[in-house]
Chains A and B, each alone.
Chain A
């Protein structure tokens, strides 16, 4: 039977990709951020997951505003990255796991989540950077991917409570999956940041700490606010915490403990965070 090894949560700022390409990991600006990842690498090397179920948001690579699904589940054989508009090196492709994707899709629709299914789907830095950070020398990603995209771009956004429930439904799907894979759940994005408007540069460490402190054993605390109030506390793009909340739901109920946590301000315009939760 499949086993969920735990959850890996990380920011996904595009400039991290630039820092990796330039080899800036040990420079004074970047070191406090990259220092958060060796413990995650060690954990993954020990646990050896072979599937990643990853909650993220697309930034205008796969989805344009002509068609914007609230929740989209990938069911492709392979997922490619492409130029996102800055001409940066293209990230490695991911091997998909269509059978598990369809099993999760069956579970979600059965649980009355009216999702979009994608048999062809490009994945952007929000998916690639988390893997670049923890498998820096891998010639190919050692895990198969089930990507789940959440609309954090165009209001109305799904509520935090709905995202938690989505994750919980994904968890039910993983529980009933008959394969023997070892599964890591991943949530990417955040934490507090705002790129647009006169409030650009807004960062809120108090709220970020509240989110990190609540994630393991009090996720309900994270879903009390409306998405608009989350934007107020976390910034226009800090609302990407919805991806973390959904991923926490996919870990299932029961106690979790923090294997590792790193928090550093700033990376680019963002409060950057890294966490691993494993069953207590």
Chain B
């Protein structure tokens, strides 16, 4: 079964972009460096508190681009990704906003939280 499946998968291998997916590559890493560096700083509780106390000042300290600043201001995860954010780092920022990965998923897919969770549950049904 496994070899046949593998061959079928290979023969059917689609090329080109993956829908709804941004590969975090060198371009994205370069573009998003300031934003991801800020998010990395949130491993430290004192930094999370400093961000909460003065969001503008904290973002300025990390030299976010205007586009990154606006994405953070609007809590818009897709805009953060478009600005070079990496989801593992953005997850630390989302935590400050009280957003779980399901909240983040719902926001990006334009679904309600319940609908997003239901979609995940349905993925497991045969």
Central interface residue in B10, B14, B18, B37, by most chain A CB within 10 Å: B18
- Chain A's closest residue to B86 (CB) is A153
B3 at interface by CB-CB < 8 Å: yes
Q: Which residues of A contact B102 (CB under 8 A)?
A: 268-269
How far apart sit A20 and B15, CA to CA, in the bound complex (Å)? 41
A115 at interface by CB-CB < 8 Å: no
How far apart sit A217 and B26, CA to CA, in the bound complex (Å)? 35
* Given the contacts A84-B92, A153-B88, A228-B23, A64 and B40 also touching, CB distance less than 8 Å: yes
- Chain B's closest residue to A272 (CB) is B124
- Chain A's closest residue to B30 (CB) is A65
Interface residues of chain B: helix, strand, loop or mixed (majority)? helix
A200 touches B109 (CB 8 A): yes
* Given the contacts A153-B24, A199-B19, A200-B105, A83 and B6 also touching, CB distance less than 8 Å: no
B61 at interface by CB-CB < 8 Å: no
B60-97 interface bits toward A, Cβ cutoff 8 Å, 1 = contact, 0 = none:
00000000000000000110010000111111100100
How far apart sit A61 and B45, CA to CA, in the bound complex (Å)? 13
B13 at interface by CB-CB < 8 Å: yes
Chain B proximity of A129: nearest CB distance (Å): 15
A85 touches B95 (CB 8 A): yes
Q: Which residues of A contact B25 (CB under 8 A)?
A: 154-156
Chain A proximity of B112: nearest CB distance (Å): 13
How far apart sit A93 and B39, CA to CA, in the bound complex (Å)? 24
- Chain B's closest residue to A152 (CB) is B88
- Chain B's closest residue to A156 (CB) is B25
B23 touches A269 (CB 8 A): no
B29 touches A83 (CB 8 A): no
- Chain B's closest residue to A226 (CB) is B13
Chain B: interface residue total (CB-CB under 8 A): 54
Binds B, one of A4-12, A40-48, A168-176, A229-237: A229-237
Q: Which of B13, B33, B37, B108 contacts A200 (CB 8 A)?
A: B108
Chain A proximity of B7: nearest CB distance (Å): 9
Nearest 7 A-B pairs (CB), nearest first? Answer: A265-B124, A199-B20, A85-B92, A198-B20, A196-B87, A203-B123, A155-B25
B109 touches A232 (CB 8 A): no
B26 touches A155 (CB 8 A): yes
A142 at interface by CB-CB < 8 Å: no
A82 at interface by CB-CB < 8 Å: yes
Q: Which residues of B contact A154 (CB under 8 A)?
A: 24-26, 29, 86
How far apart sit A249 and B55, CA to CA, in the bound complex (Å)? 47
A265 touches B123 (CB 8 A): yes
- Chain B's closest residue to A153 (CB) is B88
Known: A59-B91, A201-B116. 17 other contacts (CB 8 A): A60-B43, A65-B89, A66-B37, A82-B43, A83-B43, A85-B42, A85-B48, A85-B92, A87-B45, A156-B25, A198-B20, A198-B78, A198-B110, A210-B2, A213-B1, A232-B14, A236-B24
B120 at interface by CB-CB < 8 Å: yes
Q: Which residues of B contact A196 (CB under 8 A)?
A: 21-22, 77, 81, 87, 90, 108
A214 touches B2 (CB 8 A): yes
A78 at interface by CB-CB < 8 Å: no
A85 touches B24 (CB 8 A): no
Chain A proximity of B88: nearest CB distance (Å): 5
B97-126 interface bits toward A, Cβ cutoff 8 Å, 1 = contact, 0 = none:
000111011001110000010011101100
Within 8 A of B (CB), among A15-62: 15, 59-61
